[in-house]
């Protein structure tokens, strides 16, 4: 029975990725990102990167780096400055959940 439970749990993790943040909260917070990165994380302007489908850890790291000043950008630094750790996790989860 233990082997079957473990096999089912493992299969479930492979099918539906678990996100550290709250996808719904990230979607609500993403309104401020939409002007540059698009409503669904696909930018209409080539100079702004697409966020949809990026790895959750990557998005979170970039936002934290903009916030700390480790990564410099005159547009993103002030945007990231107001984000809490929960906001960062939620935004990263939301964009990672998109195709």
Residue 31 structure tokens: 């309104």
Average pLDDT, the chain: 89
For residue 44, with 0-12 CB atoms within 10 Å meaning exposed, 13-18 middle and 19 or more buried, which class applies? exposed
Of residues 93, 97, 91, the one with CA closest to residue 30: 91
Instruction: Report pLDDT for 18.
Output: 75
Q: Which residue has the higher pLDDT, 9 or 99?
A: 99
pTM of the model: 0.81
Please check whether residue 4 lies inside any domain of the structure.
no
Lowest mean pLDDT among 11-15, 46-50, 79-83: 11-15
d(CA 40, CA 57): 19
pLDDT digits (tens, 9 = 90+) for 73-94: 999 999 999 999 999 999 999 9
Nearest-angstrom CA–CA distance, 41 and 85: 20
Domain range for 37: 18-97
- Structurally, the chain folds into a number of domains equal to 1
Tell me whether residue 35 is in a domain. Answer: yes
Q: Supply the CATH number for residue 41's domain.
A: 1.10.760.10
């Amino acid at each position: 029975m233990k082997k079957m439970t473990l096999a089912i749990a493992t299969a479930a993790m492979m099918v539906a990725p678990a996100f550290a943040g709250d996808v719904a909260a990230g979607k609500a917070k993403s309104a401020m990102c939409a002007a540059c990165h698009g409503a669904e994380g696909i930018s209409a302007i080539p100079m702004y990167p697409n966020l949809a489908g990026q790895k959750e850890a990557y998005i979170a790291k970039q936002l934290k780096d903009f916030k700390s000043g480790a990564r410099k950008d005159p547009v993103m630094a002030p945007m990231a400055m107001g984000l809490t750790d929960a906001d960062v996790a939620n935004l990263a989860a939301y964009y990672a959940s998109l195709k």
